[in-house]
Structure 1
Amino acid sequence: MSTNKTTARPAAIYKSAAGAEAIQRNYREMLHAWPVPAEELRIPTREGETFVIVSGPQDAPPLVLLHGSGANSTNWLGDIASWAQHFRTYSVDIVGEPGGSAPSRPVLGSEAIALWLDDVLAGLGISQTALVGMSLGGWHALDYSIRRPDRVTRLALLCPGGVGKQRVGWLFKAVLDRVLGRHDLARSAKLVTGLDDAHLAPVLDQVVLTFTHFNPRTEKLPVFTDAQLHSLTMPVLVIVGARDVMLNSTETARRITQNVPDATVHVLPDVGHAVLGQTATVLKFLQDN
């Protein structure tokens, strides 16, 4: 397929070839922990190959999963065993992120993201699907649902971007720590995710490894208008953490409640940007008639 002209192609999404190799090696090792039988596919798209992990019964309804920034399909290791009992799950590695997909980065706010997902769904033989998105993946899922409402049956969003204002205060704090000689990736990860030491431990090594070697997208996420949110025709579930330092979760909850016709919103107290442990809540929403 020809390259979309609205794609920004950075020199490299990794800081070095050795760093890229370390991240990819770690990813392959973590995928050994995928708790259910899975098929790995590489779907050709206009943005390059897209890596997809498929699980669940072949005749079950489809469920497409879109992970967060600086992440990959391991985002769903705690959820997939439950969801794949009821759905044919397709965990998509977003292009330009540290997973198994191409390094291209379609321009946010353009038609490019939707066109890429069109190619992915076409390659998977999916005409309609439920979508679950986290953070940046939540932005992707919202963008697609607004542009292709007839293709999305249900939409579940965990700490989605593009609704509440994107905060930058935590970035200044991280920069100050670096200037004062106290910068610590583990400390920054704890600040951003809102996890305590006990809960952070299992994922800390991966977070530190990734952001030691990976160049994340740094542009602000485009914010969807009230009219765009109001155009969503499918049932929508939004779960946010009240202590999110990256996105204004209070504003996200308010705008979704006021503008989305069929919305369910949960604000979790004492939770930061990492909205975890919502497997059962999301499953119930996906199965509601």
Structure 2
Amino acid sequence: MKKIGGFRNPAAEKRYFAAYDRAMAECPEPRHVFDVETRHGSTRVYRYGGGGSPIALLPGLMATSACYAALLPALADRHAVYAIDTLGEAGRSVQRLPFKDIRDRVSALDDVFESLELSSVHLVGGSTGGWHAVNQAIHAPGRLASLGLLDATTVSAPFARKVFHYGLPAAVLDNERLWRRYVKWSAGEDVLGQPAAQLVLAGIRCYRARVPFQVVPSEAALRSIEVPTLALFGGRSVVHDSAAAAATLARLLPHADVEILPDAGHYLYLRPEDRDLIIERVLEWAGQAARAPE
């Protein structure tokens, strides 16, 4: 890549941050807010909670830290939680140098952990955030204690063709009706009344990302992951074949705990009952990983 991401114009930037502020208002008040300088720009990080081994949260594409509003109180009750706006996407992080490849994105996150003096991190990522977490475990695992993957995309299965069938016309025409159709299809219901969903759509429409394409890692790369891994998939997820993704990951990472939530969609914690189960699983997994002998 030779370019960096940025907003389409000042009016689009203003619209976007109005949506950002509405979505972040759904989150608890953070204990600290950091703008961490890395070699590729500054990364916005919100810290919640007190003690306990650190959990770092990576959002889905354009979703920002706001997508974890429903999980933050319970996670922060037991851990120090660091919610990250992904550098290179819309949000409060600001890219200043281009990413040449995936390793550059990995190094940018490693810079964040180094600057905040974080080690033994439980790295949790949803959707595209899960893909970022996996790449971190492949290329820079030294600061990680465990991985938590929430219907991670392009990790062990490609996107479904319908992602492009619904997404490309909406992106090309930038039509409200088409975007609503895409979001309703991907979520399994119309969620555009929710501030977090409005923020994702605002990011897609207002920001031009310039990042390396999201591709499935090789089987050899996935087999190289040694950190304890929890992978939860939505049985009703439509953005990929979640059953195939789960089976492939279980085959390549026999030490991983892989589970399909049968009634959950790609927005894995949309339903309260799934949300409670995810919180329980993540906290239990982080606790086990923290107690595991090195």
TM over 0.5: yes
Equivalent AA in structure 2 for residue 69 of structure 1? L
Percent of paired sites with the same residue: 26
Superposition deviation, residue 45 in structure 1: 0.3
Out of 47, 61, 65, the residue aligned to residue 69 of structure 1 is: 61
Q: Mean Cα displacement is larger for which, 59-68 or 199-208?
A: 199-208
Segments of structure 2 that go 5 or more residues without pairing to the other structure are: 270-274
Q: Does 1:86 align with 2:87?
A: no
Out of 262, 265, 280, the residue aligned to residue 272 of structure 1 is: 265
Q: Does 1:127 align with 2:122?
A: no
State the partner residue of 2:139: 147
- Report if aligned partners of 2:56, 2:122 keep a CA contact under 8 Å in 1: yes
Equivalent AA in structure 1 for residue 185 of structure 2? L
Superposition deviation, residue 216 in structure 1: 4.9
State the partner residue of 1:187: 181
Superposition deviation, residue 270 in structure 1: 3.9
Segments of structure 1 that go 5 or more residues without pairing to the other structure are: 1-6
Superposition deviation, residue 32 in structure 1: 3.0
1: CA distance between counterparts of 2:104 and 2:168? Answer: 32
Q: 1:139 to 1:182 in 2, by over 3 A?
A: closer
State the partner residue of 2:157: 164
2: CA distance between counterparts of 1:92 and 1:103? Answer: 14
Report the TM-score, using the length of structure 1 for normalisation: 0.85
State the partner residue of 1:3: none
Count of matched residue positions in the alignment of Structure 1 and Structure 2: 277
SS at match of 2:95: coil
Out of 206, 214, 223, the residue aligned to residue 207 of structure 2 is: 214
Superposition deviation, residue 73 in structure 1: 0.3
Q: Mean Cα displacement is larger for which, 226-235 or 61-70?
A: 226-235
State the partner residue of 1:224: 217
2: CA distance between counterparts of 1:30 and 1:176? Answer: 26
- Report if aligned partners of 2:42, 2:95 keep a CA contact under 8 Å in 1: no
Out of 24, 31, 42, the residue aligned to residue 31 of structure 1 is: 24
- Report if aligned partners of 1:237, 1:263 keep a CA contact under 8 Å in 2: yes
Superposition deviation, residue 132 in structure 1: 0.3
Superposition deviation, residue 159 in structure 1: 1.6
2: CA distance between counterparts of 1:133 and 1:200? Answer: 22
- Report if aligned partners of 1:65, 1:92 keep a CA contact under 8 Å in 2: yes
- Report if aligned partners of 2:41, 2:93 keep a CA contact under 8 Å in 1: yes
Superposition deviation, residue 219 in structure 1: 6.3
State the partner residue of 1:48: 41
Equivalent AA in structure 2 for residue 286 of structure 1? A
Equivalent AA in structure 2 for residue 56 of structure 1? G
